Amino acid sequence: MTTPKKVISGIGSVSYLPELLREMNLRNPFVVIDPKVKEADFGKRLMGFAKKSFDGFETNPTFSQVSDGLHLFSENDYDSIIVVGGGSAIDLAKVIGLTAANGGKAEEYFQGKKADVQSVPIIAIPTTCGTGAESSPFAVIMDSSIPKKRGIESVFFMPTAVILDSEALISLDSVMIAATGMDAFTHILESHISKKATVLTRIVSKGLLCSIREPLEKALNEKDALALEALQSIAFTARLLYPRTGLSIAHALSHPLGAFTGLHHGLAVVTFLETSMKYNVSACRDSFREAGRMVGFSSDDDLFSWLRLFIKESGMAEKISNHLVVYDNLPIERIASEALQSSNIPSNPRKIGLSETCEIINESLLNFRRGYGN
């Protein structure tokens, strides 16, 4: 399993960045920064490291935005990338770094071209508490011409160093804390019930399931700094699991929904979480029950009730409903068939086909249109 070579964590740990750059012998970093983070205090502190920065992207970055970033990167003799942001920013930086080191166009790597060498060194500073993109060998980029999110895996994507500083999360609004935290929770749960889970991965996922509930609730309700730090560390560790185990239909569906509607990844996962788990539970009864016990619930129903309450009280339900209300003609079959091509389908606990996937989509959308949890 590939992991970042260097991980620095703790509140205020971003102050080690100059020392880290010296230690890695990097003198001229290019900064990729989320446009919203750039305006926050945490982002402003980091702009001192940039001769030039790139923030020309939003949620679900596109190939044309990768190309813009690559163009800026090639204008100077940059020796590395510092990326500051959530999964979108980190995935974008990974693809810029890989393409800069290997040549050609970014799209070619998503059409089967293999990279031969490691990306330019990347220092990832995540500013959400869930994506784990900073510790994964994957990148997802939006092909807006179709529209479709394309994902690839490469060991050369792995950032060289990661700084997990929970001060980066202080300016996150509560819905984003909940959405990224619930994305991390789903990574762990899906990994635990996966068909490909092993004794080794379940030892890790059990520990993470035991650890996540309290920081998730405290981070949301109190914006507690230690809880945010714990959540960030759990998300980082969870991402090390699922290149081995794969995920499930909830994640498989989140990407086409995000591509068609622009919905944030964490919220797209939450849209399908309950219905996907209810579909799967008959095929993974023991591991699902064990997961629930690790989170602190004695029955499946208690776990589902907690999930529903969290999704509702965090404001995620309202955000998802408001976002999806204008998409009353979504191409359900197309979303379903794209989901079924996902690399997460072979690990889905229960066999699934087109009609079952369409049912999950329709039921999930109906739940949110009716005011989730009412």
Q: What pairs with residue 30 in β-bridges? A: 81
Alpha-carbon distance of 222 to 233, in angstroms, equals 18
CB nearer Fe ion, residue 183 or residue 229 = 183
Among the candidate windows 74-82, 177-185, 255-263, 310-318, which touches Fe ion by CB under 5 A? Answer: 177-185
Q: Token match 């929770």: residue?
A: 185
Length of the chain: 374
CB nearer Fe ion, residue 91 or residue 183 = 183
CB nearer Fe ion, residue 14 or residue 295 = 295
Residue 2 DSSP one-character state: -
CB nearer Fe ion, residue 125 or residue 238 = 238
CB nearer Fe ion, residue 34 or residue 183 = 183
Q: Residue number with the shortest CB distance to Fe ion?
A: 183
Q: How far is the CB of 158 from Fe ion (least distance, A)?
A: 17
CB nearer Fe ion, residue 167 or residue 338 = 338
Q: 135 to each of 71, 86, 237, how far by Cα in Å?
A: 26, 12, 8
Q: How far is the CB of 130 from Fe ion (least distance, A)?
A: 7
Size of the site for Fe ion (CB under 5 A): 1
Closest to 373 in 3D by CA, of 327, 326, 318:
318
Alpha-carbon distance of 316 to 308, in angstroms, equals 10
Q: Alpha helix locations (H) across the chain?
A: 17-23, 35-39, 41-46, 63-74, 87-102, 106-109, 174-193, 199-222, 225-245, 249-261, 265-280, 285-295, 300-313, 316-324, 332-340, 354-369
CB nearer Fe ion, residue 183 or residue 338 = 183
Question: Is 91 among the residues that bind Fe ion (CB under 5 A)?
Answer: no
Question: Is 183 among the residues that bind Fe ion (CB under 5 A)?
Answer: yes
CB nearer Fe ion, residue 181 or residue 215 = 181
In one-letter notation, the amino acid at residue 88 is S
Q: How far is the CB of 229 from Fe ion (least distance, A)?
A: 20
Q: What pairs with residue 84 in β-bridges? A: 33, 125
Q: How far is the CB of 17 from Fe ion (least distance, A)?
A: 27
* CB half-sphere exposure, 274, CA atoms < 13 A: 24
Q: Would you say 63 and 43 are in contact if contact means Cβ atoms under 8 Å apart?
A: no
Q: How far is the CB of 208 from Fe ion (least distance, A)?
A: 14
CB nearer Fe ion, residue 38 or residue 255 = 255
Q: Would you say 277 and 288 are in contact if contact means Cβ atoms under 8 Å apart?
A: yes
Q: How far is the CB of 255 from Fe ion (least distance, A)?
A: 9
Q: 245 to each of 105, 189, 271, how far by Cα in Å?
A: 30, 11, 22
Q: How far is the CB of 273 from Fe ion (least distance, A)?
A: 11
Question: Is 217 among the residues that bind Fe ion (CB under 5 A)?
Answer: no
Closest to 271 in 3D by CA, of 288, 256, 254, 255:
254
Among the candidate windows 40-48, 133-141, 176-184, 359-367, which touches Fe ion by CB under 5 A? Answer: 176-184
Alpha-carbon distance of 192 to 38, in angstroms, equals 36
Q: How far is the CB of 242 from Fe ion (least distance, A)?
A: 9
Among the candidate windows 108-116, 180-188, 190-198, 305-313, which touches Fe ion by CB under 5 A? Answer: 180-188
Q: How far is the CB of 331 from Fe ion (least distance, A)?
A: 22
Among the candidate windows 53-61, 65-73, 179-187, 286-294, which touches Fe ion by CB under 5 A? Answer: 179-187
Among the candidate windows 20-28, 181-189, 194-202, 361-369, which touches Fe ion by CB under 5 A? Answer: 181-189
Residues found near Fe ion in the complex (CB under 5 A): 183
